Amino acid sequence: MIVIGWIAGRGKKLGKSVGEYYLAGRNLGFITLFFTLYATQYSGNTIVGYAPTAYREGFSWLQSIPFMTAIIGVYLIFAPRLYVIAKRAKFVTPTDWISYRFESKRVTIVAILLMLWGLGNYLLEQLVAIGHAVSGLTAGAIPYGYAVIGFIVVMLIYEWLGGMRAVAVTDVLQGIILLVGIFVVLIGALALAGGSLSGISESIAATEPQKIGVPDLQTNINWISMILLAGIGAAVYPHAVQRIYSAKSERTLKRSFARMAWMPPITTGLVFVVGIICIVLYPGMDTGQSEQVIGILANDIAAMNSFYYWMMIIFFGGIVGAIVSTADSVLLSFSSMVSHDIYGKYINPNATDERKVKVGKFVGIVVVFLLLWIAWNPPGTLYQIFVLKFELLIQVAPCFLLGLYWKRLRATPVFWGMVIGATIAGIMTLTGNNTLYGIHGGIIGLIANFVVCVSGSLMMPVSEDYKKHIHTKTSIHDNGVQM
């Protein structure tokens, strides 16, 4: 990855242009864009984190397939329109759109803080996943903490050398390895379990019937809540939005999303089945042990014969590489928002692109070592960290979903909507009441957020000048020709 980072950055003016360093020159083609979107949505943590969740929860974790599908649906609502406006206005970060649309410093600052919260949690999730993956694969020979430190060093070197272009190029190889590896792990797990899915279901029904039973009403409500939370929240990931900006053309973007619609059953669907098989293979694991179940399974599959041995080495290389690449992408987005939005807009508006990139690199080092301290004793399971990042990040969704289409949406209601929504979600999280009758705090906050945005905007008078001004900003045409 370090070598590819060096090759990708060689000859490019990465240190002198924020567009080149953070967006790969806005020139990603179909294959590269598809796989970098795929790697963003399905990092190595999807394998390392989702299988243990299926192991602990049983068949109710089937929800992981529809919430991944929902993400694509939300992307298609706003991504093509946002791309055209972003290309015309030369956006670099997601909050460039928010500043452009609402022209409000306080709205922009709140959005920046919410997005940085989401990115910080996502990066923490990747660091914890690296530790569990390597520790599980090596049966503890490489301890959790050493694994995290080792790959942080790789990640920082790699990011400095290649920027977004290096991340996107390596995502292609890692995506292919992950897809092939998932099928091999499934086949190997079935072989270890006797080869019959029906037999596996019967065994679970006999030993742990609660994991195969029909969910109760509250669990069903929680399913719907989780689908909305992940579907909307993941679609407004800052690093995902920046990939929208990086597309070579609108057609390339739409083609990539069309192929992405097939990925949930192929990726999270198969990982779910692997987690279910592990219930039979490794009964009685507690929460901590189950977090390393994929590494343990890979070891057992590798012991079957030389073919599986080498496939597991390649597969885990792909998993760890994908986790590092996702972490790198998140860190890159975090750095861009601090350097371009906070430093470039409010601290030193006259800063050159070169200066902004240097500030972003320095911030990246500080943030990653702060998160290293947290990752040393993670605050929860990978799934809990996964949910935590969405609770506040999702509150910026009205800025995109309403802001792109509804011209009456005003800055003041958007500001108070985000503040109220984030406060509700934050209080519920801090008090340990993450859900209410199965509904996540982030969704309850988002409902309040939308109500404030809509009702507040309807109550404010709209002048003809304002209508014309917003029409110009949200139009997807330039001189009558679609970009």
- Tens-digit pLDDT profile for residues 210-239: 888 787 888 889 889 989 988 998 889 888
In this model, does residue 325 exceed pLDDT 60? Answer: yes
Residue type, 155: M
pLDDT for residue 403 = 92
Dihedral of alpha carbons 420, 241, 343, 148, sign: positive
**Cβ–Cβ under 8 Å, residues 45 and 326:** yes
Residue 482 has pLDDT above 50, yes or no: no
Mean pLDDT calculated for residue range 169-195: 83
Nearest to 13 by CA among 1, 29, 24, 2: 24
> What pLDDT is recorded for position 380?
56
- Quick check: helix, strand or coil at residue 427? helix
In this prediction, residue 479 carries a pLDDT of: 39
Is the pLDDT at 483 greater than 70? The verdict is: no
The pair of three-digit structure tokens given for residue 359, joined into one six-digit string: 């500030």
**pTM beyond 0.85, yes or no:** no
| pLDDT, mean of residues 57-81 | 89
Query: Residue 424 burial by CB count (10 A; 0-12/13-18/19+): exposed, middle or buried?
Result: buried
- pLDDT at residue 379, as a whole number: 58
- The C-alpha R_g of the chain, in whole angstroms, comes to 22
Is it the case that residue 109 has pLDDT exceeding 90? Answer: yes
Mean pLDDT of 296-316: 87
Residue 17: pLDDT band (50, 70, 90) is low
User: CA–CA separation, 395 vs 419, rounded Å?
Assistant: 8
Q: Which two tokens stand for residue 348?
A: 């030193």
The token duo for 129 is 């996943």
Amino acid at the residue 64 = S
Please check the confidence at residue 480 and state whether its pLDDT lies above 50: no
Decide if pLDDT at 42 tops 60: yes
Is pLDDT of 385 > 60?
Answer: no
Tokens of 441: 């705090």
Under 8 Å between Cβ of 98 and 108: yes
Compute the average pLDDT of residues 150-165. Answer: 77
At 439, which helix (H) or strand (E)?
strand 439-440
Return the pLDDT at 463. 73
Name which of 5-14, 141-150, 169-178 the model is least confident about: 5-14
Q: What is the mean pLDDT of residues 168-180?
A: 79
Stated length of the chain: 483
**Residue 138 reports pLDDT greater than 80:** no
Rounded to the nearest 5°, which phi and psi values hold at 240? Answer: -70, -40
Q: What is the pLDDT of residue 420?
A: 96
Q: Compute the distance between CA of residue 274 and CA of residue 195 in angstroms, rounded to an integer.
A: 12
What integer is the mean pLDDT of 191-218?
A: 83
pLDDT of residue 415: 96
CA distances from 60 to 215, 254, 348, 405 (A): 7, 32, 50, 36
The mean-pLDDT minimum among 34-38, 130-134, 451-455 falls in 130-134
HSE of 481 in the Cβ direction (CA atoms, 13 Å)?
A: 2
| pLDDT of res. 481 | 35
For the residues 85-109, what does the mean pLDDT come to? 92
- Answer yes or no: is pLDDT of 478 > 50: no
Compute φ and ψ for 291, nearest 5 degrees: -65, -20
First to last CA, the chain: 35
Q: How far apart are CA 144 and CA 127, in angstroms?
A: 10
Question: Which stretch of DSSP H or E encloses residue 482?
Answer: strand 481-482
Q: What percent of the chain has pLDDT over 70?
A: 92
Neighbours of 125 (CB within 10 A): 27
How much is the pLDDT for 396?
Answer: 95
Residue 408 is given by DSSP the state T
Among 107-116, 385-394, 402-411, the range scoring the smallest mean pLDDT is 385-394
Tell which wins on pLDDT, 283 or 199.
283
Torsion of CA 332, 333, 334, 339, to 10 degrees: 90
Is residue 208 classed as helix, strand or coil in its secondary structure?
coil
* pLDDT of 408 above 70: yes
- Cα 92 to chain centroid, rounded: 18
Instruction: Give CA–CA dist 141/224, Å, rounded.
Output: 41
Q: What's the burial of 251, exposed, middle or buried (CB within 10 Å: 0-12/13-18/19+)? A: exposed
Q: What is the DSSP letter of 377?
A: S
| Averaged pLDDT, 358-363 | 82
